[in-house]
Structure 1
Amino acid sequence: MSFVLNLKYFFEKHGFNAASRLADKLGMRASSVRIFFIYITFVTAGLWFGVYLTLAFWLRLKDLVRAKRSSVFDL
C-alpha cells in the first residue's frame, strides 16, 4: 500500500504541475491551459465519434446499394 501512496504523491507533485509549468513558459494563466486541454479532449473524442458514424453510414449505404441475390436466376 505504501508503494501506491508514494506513486500517487509523485504524480500529484510532478504530473499535476505540468499545466502550471507550461503556462509559465507561455506567459498564460494555468486555468486557461487546463481549459484548453479539456476542450481539446472533447474535440478529439467527438472527432472519432464522427468518423465512426460516417463509416457506419457508408457500410449501411453499401448494403442498400448492393442487392442481395439469392440465386443465379435473379440476374
Structure 2
Amino acid sequence: MLDRILIFFERYSFGVCTYLGEKFEISQTKIRLFFIYTSFLAVGFPLIFYFFAAFFLDIRNYVKKIRFQFKEI
C-alpha cells in the first residue's frame, strides 16, 4: 500500500521541488524536507504555497506548449 502511494506521488508530482532546486542550486531532498517540516510547524501553510506554485508552473508549461505548437505552423 505504501509503495503504491510513493509511486503515485513520484509519477504525478508537480515538479515544484525540482524547479526550485534547479533555480537556487539546492538539493531537491532538502527542499522537500523543508516543506514537510514547515508544514508541521506552520499548520499546513507551506502546502498552500506548494499548490500555488504547482498551479503556476503548470500554466507556464501549458503556455510553452502552445507557443511551440504555433511556432511549428
TM-score (norm 2): 0.43
- Could you say which structure has the larger radius of gyration? 1
